[in-house]
Chains A and B, each alone.
Chain A
Amino acid sequence: MSVVVCKDLVKRFDAALAVDHVNVEIKDGEFMVFVGPSGCGKTTTLRMIGGLETVTAGEIFIDGQLVNNVAPRHRDIAMVFQNYALYPHKKVFDNVAYPLYLRKVSRAEIKRRVAETAKMLDIERLLDRWPRQLSGGERQRVALGRAVIRNPRLYLMDEPLSNLDAKLRVQMRREIIRLQRVLRTTTIYVTHDQVEAMTMGDRVMVLRNGQIQQVGEPEEVYNSPANIFVAQFIGSPAMNLFAGRLEGNAGGVNLVNALGRFPLPDSLTARLASGAAGTGGARNVMWGIRAEDIRLVSPDSATPVPTAPVDLVEGLGSDAFVSLAVGDDTLVARTRADERPAENERVGLDLNLKRLHLFDPQTEQTLLI
């Protein structure tokens, strides 16, 4: 259990800036997910915390101790790698027991703890095998066992599930969550998969080009993305995003776009950053809405609604993603599978305006607070 603090952390590879002034505090017992596209610096940040990469500038503290120049073996951190990194010349038992061997733990104690760990991870029957004889999922369990057996103060996991097939990934994801809930050891988990980030993390740190975009609980990041990048990166399908215009008058603020003119609900107007559109002038914005916040309705209802032709319907079994042609853009709505429209049909749109997202087109930052 421990607290990790990164202060102005910088990593430079020759000319390239891999990590750019990262400031973050990971709380005791927290499951923190670093997420971002490849090359965003998430793995480099993790490796710096683990001591596998030197720090160009800035400071890393673990439990208040500056660890910049502490060797990995003295940091008391366990790490799980994407390719498992099992020791091919050691049997599963010795792989799991290896950290204990190095700590000169007694034979009897090693046996006891390996048995205990194997039981927890359901790898008891594998202990006498070689790593090459294991499937991907089994290897990952062994790698987890090797990390867990030490009872370290911090776990680092570098995309541990990305080499597994989809079904196994979901299963292992649950097991890691369950394990962390039981052990309550601070965990930093790196992934490029936003679904993993959403489902696993107590908090999520979104990175791009070495810079933190947003840190927050998954719901917070999902519901109030700090900028256009986060809005589009988190969530599947990606958030619909279009150019539009905010116009303020005495009656309130209106969003004007290709679909029509929409009065913003009071809750949203209140969140509009002061001095932005306010109630007076007009300004260009990027507005976004998630697929599930668009309801498809009959085009000829009593109150006039914006309509659009259906371009494509992708069924998922339970749900369907409906692509609609709006001008030159595509808007994706999510509907129940049994309510899906036919392709080329013209449908009416009911936008949940309370769930609208507004961004500054220049800075790409959110206009809502």
Chain B
Amino acid sequence: MGRIGVVKWLSILFFLIPVLFILVFPFIVMISTSFKSLQEVSQIPPTFIPRQPTLANYREVWNIIPLAKHFRNSFLLGAGETFLVLFLGIPAAYALCRFRFRGRGSYMVFLLFTQMFAPVVVVLGLFRLIAAYGLVDNLAVVAFMAAAFNLAFCIWLLTGYFSAIPPEIEEAAMMDGNSRLGAMIRMTLPLSWPGLIAVAIFAFMDGWNEFLFSLTFLRTDDYLPLTVGLFRFITRFQIQWNSLMTGSFLATIVVVALFMLVQDKLTRGLVAISEK
């Protein structure tokens, strides 16, 4: 083994594995806890591998809180934000990337500025506004707010993807008989497909993980997403760790599954694009 081989193995041993352990540890605890009874969770010293593994949590968690509804709401938030971000972001990014107009540069910088506000700074003001319009307990409002705070970043991302497509391809399509819109839909969008997927995933995750606006703007179980729904296992007197972790695990697994589903297509799309 050469010197470089030794350095490689040492760095894996002393750096990568510890870091990996730190990263994975919460997930291991989450999975382990989800198979324990509440008693075993509060036992000292704690157990790493459940002594009496049980599936009871997976049965009961659906009844303790309306988990199915929370799932549906989280999904709606994710899908709603994805739709809004793509629907508004694609035309915006396209225009910023293809058209030269006065104030284009400063508009791009302005978009960045909107990303620098922490949502928590404006959440009280927004709540008063929303309450005044009687829009409390409305999922669409939350999706809209989350999209608003995410849109600028997604526009930047999309601008990058669009500007990688030579404008001549669109121009050729326009000479061949397309309108500008047609050229965009038939050429630029399919060619920047991996970028669109990446932005869509990003937006969906943002909606799925949305917490602050949901906590503030939503009241009743019917509308709460997973993030806030699970939060209610943490009460003043007790934290129901086993149920919380079961719910968290279920919530995580959905996103991971979604990712794996799309990843294959994503890499294939990237290969298709690299043909240039």
Contacts and interface: CB of A to CB of B under 8 A. Distances in A.
B201 interface: no
Contacts of A102: 176-178
Interface in A60-98: 71-73, 77-79, 81-83, 85-89, 98
Contact of A73 (B169, B178, B272): B178
A52 B176 contact: no
A89 B172 contact: no
B123 interface: no
Nearest to A99: B176
B59 interface: no
B275 interface: yes
Interface string B135-159: 0000000000000000000000000
Interface in B120-139: none
A52 B173 contact: no
Contacts of A174: none
Contact of B191 (A71, A79, A88, A103): A88
A226 B135 CA distance: 75
B171 A89 contact: no
Contact of B166 (A72, A85, A132): A85
Interface string B168-186: 1101111111110000000
Given A89-B191, A132-B275, A79 B175 contact: yes
A186 to B, nearest CB: 15
A85 B174 contact: no
Contact of B168 (A51, A71, A73, A83): A83
Contacts of B187: 87
A73 B190 contact: no
Given A72-B175, A73-B178, A89-B191, A130 B275 contact: yes
A62 to B, nearest CB: 14
B8 interface: no
Contacts of B190: 89
Contacts of B3: none
B172 A85 contact: yes
A79 B177 contact: no
A257 B173 CA distance: 58
Given A83-B168, A85-B166, A89-B191, A72 B276 contact: no
Contacts of A82: 168
B275 A131 contact: yes
Given A88-B276, A130-B275, A132-B275, A81 B177 contact: no
A81 B168 contact: yes
A146 interface: yes
A216 to B, nearest CB: 29
A288 interface: no
A130 B191 CA distance: 14
Interface string B57-85: 00000000000000000000000000000
Contacts of B168: 81-83, 85
A96 to B, nearest CB: 11
Contacts of A72: 171, 174-175
A144 B190 CA distance: 24
A89 B272 contact: yes
A145 B190 CA distance: 23
Contact of A98 (B166, B176, B275): B176
A147 B250 CA distance: 56
Determine which residue in A50, A51, A79, A130 has the highest number of CB atoms from chain B within 10 A of its CB, and name it.
A79
Contacts of B171: 52, 72, 79, 81, 85
Contacts of A78: 175-176
Contacts of B172: 79, 81, 85-87, 146
A153 B166 CA distance: 26
A52 B174 contact: yes
Contacts of A50: 175
Interface string A100-115: 0011000000000000
A190 to B, nearest CB: 14
A232 B178 CA distance: 42
Contacts of A83: 166, 168
Interface string B240-276: 0000000000000000000000000000000011011
Interface string B16-50: 00000000000000000000000000000000000
A81 B173 CA distance: 12
Determine which residue in A52, A77, A85, A132 has the highest number of CB atoms from chain B within 10 A of its CB, and name it.
A85
A85 B169 contact: yes
Contacts of B176: 73, 78, 98-99, 102, 146, 150
A331 B147 CA distance: 70
Going nearest first, the 7 A-B pairs with the smallest beta carbon separation are A132-B275, A102-B177, A85-B168, A85-B172, A99-B176, A79-B175, A72-B174
23 contacts: A50-B175, A51-B174, A71-B174, A71-B179, A72-B171, A78-B176, A79-B171, A79-B175, A81-B168, A83-B166, A83-B168, A85-B168, A85-B171, A86-B172, A88-B272, A88-B275, A88-B276, A89-B190, A89-B272, A99-B177, A132-B276, A146-B172, A150-B176
Given A78-B175, A85-B166, 7 more contacts: A50-B175, A73-B176, A81-B168, A85-B172, A87-B172, A88-B272, A150-B176
Interface of A: 50-52, 71-73, 77-79, 81-83, 85-89, 98-99, 102-103, 130-132, 146, 150, 156
